[in-house]
Amino acid sequence: MMCYTTAINGVFAALIAGAFWFTSGGVTAAFLTNLLFYIIITPVIALTLTKIMFMGENGIIVGDALSRIDGVLALAPLSETKMPVSPRDNSVELEHIKFSYDGKNEVIHDISLRIEPGQTVAFVGPSGGGKSTLASLVSRFFDPQGGSVRIGGVDVRDTPKGELMDTVSFVLQNSRLIKASILDNVRMGKLDASESEVLSALEAAQCGDILEKLPQGIHTVIGRDGVYLSGGEQQRIAIARAMLKNAPVLILDEATAFADPDNENKVQAALSALARGKTVLLIAHRLSTVAGVDRIYVIDDGRIAEAGTRSQLLEQDGLFRKIWKEYQTSAQWKVAKEGTV
């Protein structure tokens, strides 16, 4: 586009250069007439061509957007069982799970594990290893090509979708709020919740300071009149939503990723209150968050590389110990002052 615009507007420079060259022998009436014509017509042509250029660009953007929409609409809905079964408890079990996004390249290779009711487990490991994919399978965002995912001893494919969504709640690392009031955003976790229930959830999620600075409290509309929240504040609102939902199985996908130090402390306190009495799957990059979990699974290249408590894994000379040392080094890293190096 830059080259096209330069070429179109370069006509004016050529016109001025030609005028100087032709007038070296004297200005005639015919020359002035021709010059006036080109001065008038050239901007019209340039403007027309520029509009055509932008129309072409907009056409490409619209075509790409329609292609994306068609891609979503073309996805086949997940199957629903004709004989629904309710989960018996809050346990989570993965049995010989195999999964591929494109049906060709497996990203999860024969993973099996069991999480007892009320346990907190953490998935750690290199980026792209399959941690978030495993959590997505538990929520039944996708179905595995092999094996089964069970909650409460029941395959998630045999659990009604509505009941499964009532059983599992999640707080993602990039939680987003809709352009609506704080009340409506939190109430998405429980549509028939009263205003007092929403306030209790917000208080438990450490959101008191957020409400104090908003002009209309929980009735303040986010994203209007300059009202915006930081990443950590959005996370706390998302946690309040999960608290209001109060599902027995909780998935936390690096919920403190976008929190500054002050917000992180409040998010951690809110998460501790949220996780109480629930079965929790924690996806962690900040290894400080896995200190008190019951079991850690180290996921690497779609496989369980190691499993155990933090102390057990640190005793081994394996991947977790290497990741832990790198995390400790990065946590202690500081910018050196001038003259200290």
Coil, strand or helix: which one is 318?
A: coil
Residues in the chain: 341
Confidence check: pLDDT of 285 > 90: no
Confidence check: pLDDT of 160 > 70: yes
pLDDT of residue 341: 47
Mean pLDDT of 296-321: 91
Q: How confident is the model at residue 233 (pLDDT cuts 50, 70, 90)?
A: confident
Q: How confident is the model at residue 172 (pLDDT cuts 50, 70, 90)?
A: confident
Greatest Cα pair distance, the chain, in angstroms, is 100
Q: What tokens were used for 42?
A: 């050239």
CATH number assigned to the domain with residue range 92-332, chosen from the 4 options 3.40.50.300, 1.10.340.70, 3.50.50.60, 3.10.450.50:
3.40.50.300
Mean pLDDT of 224-244: 83
Confidence check: pLDDT of 196 > 80: yes
pLDDT of residue 66: 93
Confidence check: pLDDT of 103 > 60: yes
Confidence check: pLDDT of 305 > 50: yes
Residue 283's φ and ψ, nearest 5 degrees, are -100, 120
pLDDT above 70: percentage of residues in the chain = 83
pLDDT of residue 68: 92
Instruction: Report d(CA 137, CA 139) in Å as an integer.
Output: 5
What mean pLDDT is reported for the chain? 83
Confidence check: pLDDT of 123 > 80: yes
Check the CA dihedral 20-26-28-30 and report its sign: negative
Confidence check: pLDDT of 1 > 60: no
Residue 39's φ and ψ, nearest 5 degrees, are -65, -35
- β-bridge mates for residue 151, sequence order: 92, 154
One DSSP character per residue, 218-232 reads: GGPBTTSTT----HH
Q: How confident is the model at residue 299 (pLDDT cuts 50, 70, 90)?
A: very high
Confidence check: pLDDT of 39 > 80: no
pLDDT of residue 3: 67
CA 263-269-275 angle, 5° bins:
130
Confidence check: pLDDT of 202 > 80: yes
> Which residues contact residue 296 at a Cβ distance below 8 angstroms, ignoring those fewer than 6 apart?
121, 122, 124, 290, 306, 307, 308, 309, 310, 313, 320
Q: When comparing pLDDT for 140 and 1, which is higher?
A: 140
Coil, strand or helix: which one is 176?
A: coil
Mean pLDDT of 251-271: 71
Q: What is the pTM of this model?
A: 0.73
Which span out of 35-49, 116-130, 280-294 was modeled with the highest average pLDDT?
Answer: 116-130
pLDDT above 90: percentage of residues in the chain = 32
* Neighbouring C-alpha atoms within 13 Å toward the C-beta of 250: 30
Residues 54-73: tens digit of each pLDDT: 888 888 999 999 999 998 88
CA 49-54-55 angle, 5° bins:
95
Question: Quick one: residue 235, left, alpha or beta (phi over 0 = left, psi -120 to 50 = alpha)?
Answer: alpha
Characterize the bridge pairing of strands 92-100 and 106-115: antiparallel
Check the CA dihedral 152-191-161-98 and report its sign: negative
pLDDT of residue 303: 93
Q: When comparing pLDDT for 273 and 153, which is higher?
A: 153
Q: How confident is the model at residue 31 (pLDDT cuts 50, 70, 90)?
A: low
Q: Of the ranges 41-45, 53-57, 87-91, which one carries the lowest mean pLDDT score?
A: 41-45
Which of 280, 192, 265 has its CA nearest to residue 235?
Answer: 265
In the chain, what are the domain boundaries? 2-73, 92-332
